Amino acid sequence: MRTAFTSLVLCLFCVAAGAAEKVSLIKIDGTIGPATASYISRSIEQAQAQNAQCLVIELNTPGGLLDSTQKIVQSFLGSPLPVVVYVAPTGATATSAGCFITIAASVSAMAPATTIGAAHPVSLGGNPIGGEEKTDDTMKKKLENFSVSYIETIAARRKRNVEWAKSAVRDSASITAEKALELKVIDLIAPDLPALLQQLNGRVVDGKTLKTAGAEVSEIRMSSSEHVFQKLWRPEVMFVLMLIAIYGIIGELTMPGAILPGVVGTIALILALYMSAILPVNVTGLALIGLALLLFLFDIYAPTHGILTAGGIISFLIGSLMLFNRADPLFRLSLSYIIPATLITAAFFIFVFGKGLRAQTLPVKVGVDTMIGQTVAALTPIDSRGGRIFIEGENWNAVSDTPIEQGALVRVLGVEGLTLKVTSKEK
């Protein structure tokens, strides 16, 4: 009887445990890019499949790309599952793209001592390129106007402070969590995740009453491919890939048949081209780097006492500085990358590539071609029908258009199979 009672209690306990509600969690710590957008979209689908009460996104970001931000916002607005953005831990920020993402959430929450704002489009990968300053300013203004109207639409949809949202774009306004709650930019302030779930419990979101108190938290992690691409799309990585592509492909052209430099260079080139379609690359910077490579090449073929090489170094340095938008810390290429890369590239062309090209123009030092031009004595009379000479430690058949006497000096003109073509040294 006692055994049956114990089994019944255990069964009821298992049922109760099985009935516990679930909450899905993901953590975004870093810049917003294509991998982040893919991760969030997949997590929404996975959380829905797990029948989770909501998806909580713990966010800490300095900003990111506008295209990726738009995809994330679209995922939020089209999600059948409530999405909660929680700016945490203490000291975290939802800057630039993070501001858009936080405002677009079904529920927006922040931890104490966190900040939100500074959503000016220059920090969203907005790097218009124009040939003239006036054109550039016009494009920047258009991008700013678009960003203002975009965040206004999001804030109005989520019934949040529209005027502050617009000022976050126009004036790069930034506020603390406490001020954000006061201005109705966010919905909650919670010191940690359990406290957040407690405050969410019973809240009606998009017609659904959340049951999150004591819910089981299941973290959805980035896939291997998402994690790799999240690390890859940094400007520093693209810059290094571009250098590898240059060294590898030119190294293969210098040493045909090496294969490995060409394969590595081609792979690096494909990855760099993929990243250039994502990152805000300045075409002028690319053009200056291309000009630098041409100047290095010209100085190898037509030595100018280092003038073209000096010009190439300056062009490469300026091009690297202009390759990304230095006004934006997210896409600023550090001088600790630029200066060593400039020196290494100059050294590569001067000492490696230059030496390789010059080596190809040196006289042949091995093989039968080394006999051409040598002078030896005829062992036998030589005419068009043949004769013999001794050269390079061996007896060779030799022919000559004009008869040559035995013992006379002859000069080798060419090699035809196993026969040498010679002529009299006197000619």
Interatomic CA distance for residues 82 and 44, integer angstroms: 9
Q: Is 25 helix (H, G, I), strand (E, B) or coil?
A: strand
**How far does the chain reach from its first CA to its final CA, in angstroms?**
124
Q: What per-residue confidence (pLDDT) applies to 127?
A: 43
Q: Please write down the HEC assignment for all residues of 195-206.
A: HHHHHHCCCEEC
**Cβ atoms < 10 Å from Cβ of 350:** 16
Q: For residue 38, give Cα distances in angstroms to 33, 34, 75, 140, 225.
A: 9, 6, 10, 27, 10
pLDDT in the model for residue 155: 95
State the pLDDT confidence band at 37, using cuts at 50, 70 and 90. very high
Q: What is the pLDDT of residues 244-293, one digit of tens each?
A: 888 887 777 766 666 787 888 889 888 888 777 777 788 888 888 888 88
Let me know how many helices (H) and strands (E) the chain has, helices first: 15, 16
State pLDDT tens for residues 3-22: 444 444 444 443 344 457 89
Name the pTM for this structure.
Answer: 0.68
Which pLDDT value is given to residue 42?
95
Q: Which residues neighbour 179 within 8 Å (Cβ) at sequence distance 6 or greater? A: none
The strand pairing partners of 266, in sequence order, are: none
- Going by pLDDT thresholds of 50, 70 and 90, the confidence category of residue 298 is confident
Enumerate domains of the chain plus CATH numbers: 18-223 (3.90.226.10), 234-360 (no CATH), 368-424 (2.40.50.140)
pLDDT(207) > 90: no
127-174 residue pLDDT tens: 433 333 344 567 778 888 888 999 999 999 999 999 999 999 998 899
Tell me if 354 sits within 8 A of 361, measured CB to CB.
no
The percent of residues in the chain predicted with pLDDT above 90, rounded, is 35
Q: Are 150 and 99 in contact (CB under 8 A)?
A: no
3-state secondary structure 321-352: HHCCCCCCHHHCCCHHHHHHHHHHHHHHHHHH
- The whole-chain average pLDDT of the chain stands at 82
Q: Which residue has the higher pLDDT, 157 or 310?
A: 157
Nearest-10 Cα torsion for 246, 331, 282, 349? -20
46-70 confidence digits (pLDDT tens): 999 999 999 999 999 988 888 899 9
The string of pLDDT tens digits covering residues 343-397 is 888 887 777 665 555 555 555 555 566 777 788 888 888 888 888 888 877 888 8
CA distance 214 to 187: 20
How far is residue 134 CA from its own chain's centroid? 30
